[in-house]
Amino acid sequence: MCGYDTNMSFNPHNAVVVLGATASGKTRLGVRLADALGGEIVSADSRQVYCGLDLGAGKDLSEYAVDGRSIPYHLIDIVDLDDEFSVFDYQQRFFEVFAELRARHVLPVVVGGTGLYLEAVLKGYKMVAVPEDPAFRAELAHLSDDELAARLRAVKPRLHNTTDLVDRHRLVRAIEIARYSRAHPPEPLPELEALVLGARWPRDKLRERIRERLVARLAAGMLDEVEALHERGVAWARLEQLGLEYRYVAQFLQGTIQNRNDLVQKLHSAICKFAKRQDTWFRRMERNGTAIHWIPEADFDAAMQIVQSG
């Protein structure tokens, strides 16, 4: 167990979070921490919840082992691609796993880069399951998109997810949810007191890591993965909706991107921009009060020092 005291007290912490941009090494770091601390991994990734999204989603399940010891993981491969999976669904499933691990006296080690998922559990977003209301939707039908956006901001001044503003269907649903939630307050969530670590690299090194990982995943069969998903009935539109690797590979397979070199260049650029957006989200989390202990180059020993100091 790496020579560390695995019985150390985590008071007041009852979980460890390892976040970071894509290709930052957070999975490997989280797995090593879970091994050293007798913990299990809880994923916080919006694509890894889906069965069949493997190489493109970066599941890297081969990394969930240390010196031959398998590290259990949760919230990976839990829904089919036909299903929608919302931040509310994630929060509900997360706290189910959290309660189960704590009941077994196992430390949850949360690993991921989906900022909205992380904030939903760290900040305890208050959300409820909201049924559709046909009569209320009929009332909204005559409103313009701008009027709907104004209506949403009126009932929910602090928007967590501004993408609700760019699609009429999502606007209507967001208003419906906000209206229902006011009249039906959610049940209190379990107390989550997490020690938050962040894997960070100099930007030029991260870009290099992104390219190396992309080339390796293409060599491992990422094109075949996406083609097989389509042959099994997953529409091109759905694949493109999944973003990044799935969007660009789907376009390549349809002939929109003409050659493999263009695919690599376009996809590398898109992933680097995504990593920058992730970093921006994490900086905003810090401004909003989340203490993140940054670990240079995802160094395990540096992370353990932070953990041991509490």
Task: Per residue of the chain (310 residues), give pLDDT as tens.
Answer: 343 344 444 557 999 999 999 999 999 999 999 999 999 999 999 999 999 999 999 999 999 999 999 999 999 999 999 998 999 999 999 999 999 999 999 999 999 999 999 999 999 988 888 888 999 999 999 999 889 888 988 888 776 555 556 678 888 988 998 888 888 887 888 989 999 999 999 999 999 999 999 999 999 999 999 999 999 999 999 999 999 999 999 999 999 999 999 999 999 999 999 999 999 999 999 999 999 999 999 999 999 999 998 7
Domain positions in the chain are: 15-125+188-309, 134-183
pLDDT at residue 10, as a whole number: 53
CB 186 within 8 A of CB 9: no
| Integer Cα distance of 104 and 122 in angstroms | 21
Q: Quick count: other Cβ atoms within 10 Å of Cβ 276?
A: 14
SS3 235: coil
Pairing mode, strands 65-66 and 69-70: antiparallel
Q: What is the pTM of this model?
A: 0.85
Burial of 262 (0-12, 13-18, 19+ CB in 10 A): middle
- Quote the CATH superfamily of domain 15-125+188-309: P-loop containing nucleotide triphosphate hydrolases (3.40.50.300)
pLDDT at residue 307, as a whole number: 94
